[in-house]
Structure formats: C-alpha cells, structure tokens
A and B are shown apart, each in its own frame.
Chain A
Amino acid sequence: MEKSRREFLKIAGFSLLGIGVQPIIKAFGQSEDSKFSKRPEALVGKRWAMVIDPKKCKDDCRDCIDACHRIHNVPDFGNPKDEVKWIWNEPFEKAFPGQEHEYIEEYIEEELKGKPFIVLCNHCENPACVRVCPTKATWKREDGIVMMDYHRCIGCRFCMAACPFGARSLNWRDPRPFIKEINPKYPTRMRGVVEKCNFCAERLAQGLQPACVEACKEKALVFGDLEDPHSEVREILRSNHTIRRKPQLGTNPQVYYIV
C-alpha cells in the first residue's frame, strides 16, 4: 500500500489531535472523585500544634494517656521492651537532654520540681521519619500532621531509628490480645507495624479536639492552629516562655512546653 507524504502527514496530524483530546475526556470522566467529600464539621488548620503546661499536671494523673490509648486501641504488653505508646510521661532530663545541669534541682521553679513531662509525637515541620520511610507509609499532611498509613507499613523501623523523640513503637507481637477493651470506632494494628500519635486526625475530621486535650481536666494541653495569629495556642506562646524538645536537631517540633 503506497502512501503519499501528504497522506502520511494528515494521519500524523490527526493522531496528535487525539493525544490532545485525552485530558479533556479525563476531566469529564472524573465523576469518581466528586463522590468523595470531607466532613463539613471537620476542624481545619494550616499548622496544627500543641502547647503543654506541665505545671498544671497533677502527680500520678494519667487521664490523657489513658484516654488516648483507650480510644486508639493501643496495646499494653506489660513489659517495657515491647511497649507501645502514643503519649507518655518523661522526667525533665529525659525529655530535654542537654538542658539539664547539676544545679537544676536547686534553681528550677518550685512548681516544676519533679514534674512529669507529657511527651508525644512532635508532628515536626521537617520530620526525619518521613524522609527515611521507604514505602511512604508515613507522610506530612498539608495541615502539618505527620500521618501513618498502616496499610503500607512494612515494619522496617527506619522511622523509629530516625525519630529523635522515641515517639514511634513497633508491634513486635500481635497486639489484639493485649488490648483491654477494643474500641470498634478505630482499627487496631497488626504484628510488624509501627504506630504513633496521629494528633487524633480521625477526631479532627469529626470536629472534635484531640482525645488527650479533651480528657485533661486541668487544661494542661491546648491544641490549635499555629498559623492563625488569633488562635489560643498563639496567644499562649505570646504570653509565656516556651521550650521544645531537641530543637537543635532542626526537625522543628510543634509541641511546645511552658516553663
């Protein structure tokens, strides 16, 4: 079959047109996407952050820890080697290494002496865990929350090595038998999956404050949008001296402590 140069160019031209049509068809064909929507009552923010006032913490109070672990089906293996934790207590020198010195007991404010510091995932602006994750199972959301996709986690524990705050735990064993009462509103995890605090992303989506903030009777934890200059967290930062855990590492943690 002979083809003239003219005919060949015609066919080539039409083929090119065809390529141009594809995005248009795609745009019309995106009915799948329009079926999904965010909950209208969801809290929206640009940079979620938390301010903690350890002075308000009562000795031996575990309200925030218990509420979080109950809601998120965090297992209690009963031994520190296998421990899984989202939010927990640390003494000052463990939470802020490098800031302690031999006279600190003498000069630290009376109200802060021997106080436990509530620590959790810092939802860093520049999260080291996200950089090392080989499967993108953990990533930073647009509102600043460092999220986990348990479906994708392969349990390599790179993130645990990268996190300077020890905020991540691996399920060395099947966690199901070690959960006292399973909350059906939230899934559990399986063996070989890393987990951590998610700033209650599932509760924010329903317009609720994080579980730990809600559970604290002393209002020692305040949650809010740091990019909103009129937010409560910004107001607290404005009127108090706050410190963060290991800011020198450059991860820019977003949990602030009033001292």
Chain B
Amino acid sequence: MYDGGKIITGLIIFFLLFTFPIWYNKVTGKASAVPKPEIITKEKRCVEPTEYMKESHMKLLDTWRNKVVRENMRLYKGADGKTYPISLTNTCLDCHSNKEKFCDQCHNYVGVTPPCWSCHVIPKESS
C-alpha cells in the first residue's frame, strides 16, 4: 500500500472525529445529566396519571386545543372524576406555576421549542 501510514492515520483521525458525540459524552459525562423538572404544584394529582402525562402531555394538549377552539368543548373530566376548565395558562400553568423549572427543563434537554408561549401568556413565576 502506498502511503499506508498517512492513510491509516487519516482514517483514525476521521474515525475519532466521526464518533465524537459518542465518546465526548462518555468522557465528560455531560449529556448524561438527566434533567430533573421540579414539580411544585397546588394539587396533588394532575388531570391524568403522571406516567401518561410524562409520555403524552403534548397529545393531550393538542386534543384540548382542538376541542376548545373548534368544538367549543371547554370542560375536561380528569382521571379522578373532577371537571377542569380547559386552559393552558389558567389551568395547567396555574397549578404548575414554575414553567422555567418544570416545562423548560425537559424541553431544553431534548431541544424542542413548543411555540405555545408566543401567544399563550405565562403567569408570573412564583416560587
């Protein structure tokens, strides 16, 4: 092989750069810092079980939005049988009154920027 040394060195450099995201995280341990959203709420339970909310809150919010805007259905019966008015600002964020430490924690981690807040009002953060 002509210039074998150069080729192999080049290949090693390429391989190291290519796998950068994998070993960088292993070495620095930065990305493995799983976000810990703080749950500071008035109520003890959410409208649906926690597991469901963790996985599918975006689907629930999407259905809520369509039901209110397009079908004028403004009340939701939660898993506990209680009826809640459907409102992102005045129901969800009234209870989860710490958007920065709750919503944003995971959203920033997974790199999603839901456009909710360009229109829906964030109530004043309270501790």
Contact = CB atoms under 8 A, between A and B. Distances in A.
Task: Specify whether A and B are partners.
Answer: yes
Contacts of B101: none
25 contacts: A34-B77, A35-B76, A35-B77, A35-B78, A36-B67, A36-B71, A36-B73, A36-B75, A36-B77, A36-B86, A37-B73, A37-B75, A38-B73, A39-B75, A39-B85, A139-B70, A141-B72, A147-B69, A151-B69, A182-B121, A184-B89, A187-B89, A187-B120, A190-B119, A205-B74
Task: List the 6 shortest-distance A-B pairs measured between CB atoms, nearest first.
Answer: A36-B73, A190-B118, A187-B119, A35-B77, A184-B121, A37-B75
Given A36-B75, A187-B89, A149 B119 contact: no
B125 to A, nearest CB: 13
Contacts, number: 54
Contact of B70 (A35, A149, A185): A149
Interface of A: 32, 34-39, 42, 139, 141, 147, 149-151, 182, 184-185, 187-190, 201, 205
Contacts of B67: 36
Contacts of A150: 119
Contacts of A205: 72, 74
Given A149-B70, A205-B74, A32 B89 contact: no
Contacts of B89: 184-185, 187
A150 B22 CA distance: 42
Q: Is the interface of A mostly helix, strand, loop or mixed?
A: loop
Contacts of B83: 37
A142 B67 CA distance: 15
B63 A32 contact: yes
B121 A151 contact: no
Contacts of A36: 67, 71, 73, 75-77, 86
A28 to B, nearest CB: 18
B55 to A, nearest CB: 16
Interface string B112-127: 0001001111010000
Interface string B93-127: 00000000000000000000001001111010000
B50 interface: no
Given A32-B63, A184-B90, A38 B121 contact: no
Contacts of A139: 70
A36 B78 CA distance: 9
Contacts of A188: 119, 121
Contacts of B72: 38, 42, 141, 201, 205
Contacts of A42: 72, 74
Contact of B119 (A147, A189, A201): A189
Interface in B56-88: 63, 65, 67, 69-78, 83, 85-86
A190 B121 CA distance: 12
A38 B76 CA distance: 9
A64 B53 CA distance: 41
Given A38-B75, A201-B72, A205-B74, A184 B119 contact: no
A48 to B, nearest CB: 12
A221 B120 CA distance: 30
B60 to A, nearest CB: 10
A241 B85 CA distance: 42
Contacts of B85: 39
